[in-house]
Amino acid sequence: MLETAGQPKIGIFWVYKNLVIGKTCELEDGQENVPGLIDSPDSHIELWEQNLGFTIPFPELNGSEYQNVPRGRVIYSTTTKKVIIYMDKVLHTKGIRQIISDFFQLADSKVVWKTDDHYTTQSDEVDDLFER
């Protein structure tokens, strides 16, 4: 069992108009599908399409596809004791990193920021993913 007091949250997110939209998860409620990595059981597509456990506060996003809004995922490494954040490269700014850190309560955590090609919103890069 993980000690969760003071621990960061994990989960999935989107960033729209400088606001994080997403769902956090306690480490103890996460899944260790890959040894040493605790991940949220949530998926972007299910949360977006079924609006499970969170609200999309922007009416203009209703009916849009989940992959059209920059997104990412926060996981936790039990071996390095660091949070790893995979996200669309367009989100890698100091201001956006701060709002993500605040949303997932990461102030006291060591964080590794990474890009992930699967989270891209660039249409040419999405096309490349499907051609692989």
Domain limits, the chain: 10-131
Phi, psi of 82 (to 5 degrees): -125, 150
pLDDT, tens only, 46-97: 888 877 666 778 888 888 888 899 999 999 999 999 999 999 999 999 999 9
pTM strictly above 0.75: yes
- Count the neighbouring beta carbons within 10 Å of the beta carbon of residue 78: 13
Helices (H), the chain: 44-50, 94-103, 123-131
CA pair distance 127, 132, nearest whole angstrom? 9
Cβ–Cβ < 8 Å for 10, 23? no
Confidence bin at 23 (pLDDT 50/70/90): very high
